[in-house]
Structure 1
């Protein structure tokens, strides 16, 4: 593999380091929780609190995404994952919402991890840019999360 003299690895960005710290805090907090029901209720409260902290545009989209996912894939458990709202099945994150502000991006992201059953041939999308969550987008998200847990 060739490398150029001008390329250098600069390490993780400040946003990436902050996300990793949030993930470690989330893991510690989850380990201290009581019963399974207590864990689930507290995890959802944490997720909703994280959404409430977001700026207007991201918050509105995250609230709609949360509503669509919980209505269409109630088997998924809300949780925080690297400081982002996420939804897990058997402890494995299936999908997540990443606000635009989190990594100073121009759009929010709805992403899917390996457990999501979105396979479609030899190549398929695992992340979707969101600039608005309209009724049409809600329908698309509902279809994706239903397929992801099928």
Structure 2
């Protein structure tokens, strides 16, 4: 068996996300901190991603105002009873081609044997695109 160092297993971006998650867990006791962390996560994004994140946030708040804003691995996220339901993952976080809007396991989206849990999102989303996501957020929020 060949042993590898943990530094060879995780990329710098993954390590940064894990550190962010550890910090989030420490701050989780205070919902005021969660909302501020969500705002800060959006504010730190590059202009194009910040615009997209703000559209996503407005859609989530309108579709499911009962969800609490927080962060999840440094991403803007929304939770029910402390469990993440959905989150926005900016493309710059892992240097990939597109951002995503995703649903976590607390989302109530089960529909048959197969259902979508992540969607590639772009600044060119239409109102119809946002409405489709909003319907899913409403369902996921339970």
Q: TM-score, normalised by structure 2?
A: 0.89
Aligned residue pairs total 135
CA distance in 2, matches of 1:136, 1:107: 19
Structure 1 stretches of 4+ moved >6 Å: none
- 1:22 aligns with 20
* Match among 47, 62, 73 for residue 56 of structure 1: 47
Counterparts of 1:105 and 1:77, CA distance in 2: 28
Could you say which residue in structure 1 is the equivalent of 2:3? Answer: none
**Aligned partner of 2:76 among 68, 77, 85:** 85
Q: C-alpha displacement at 1:40, in angstroms? A: 2.5
1:144 paired residue number: 136
Larger Rg: 1
Aligned residue among 55, 58, 68 for 2:59: 68
Distance 1:68 1:74 in 2: 10
**Who is 1:126 aligned against?**
117
Q: Is the 8 A contact 2:27 2:33 kept in 1?
A: no
2:106 corresponds, among 115, 118, 132, to 115
**Normalised by the size of structure 1, how large is the TM-score?**
0.84
Within 1, Cα distance between the matches of 2:26 and 2:32?
16
Determine the C-alpha separation between the residues in 2 that align with 1:24 and 1:115. 20
Structure 1 distance, partners of 2:78, 2:41, is 14
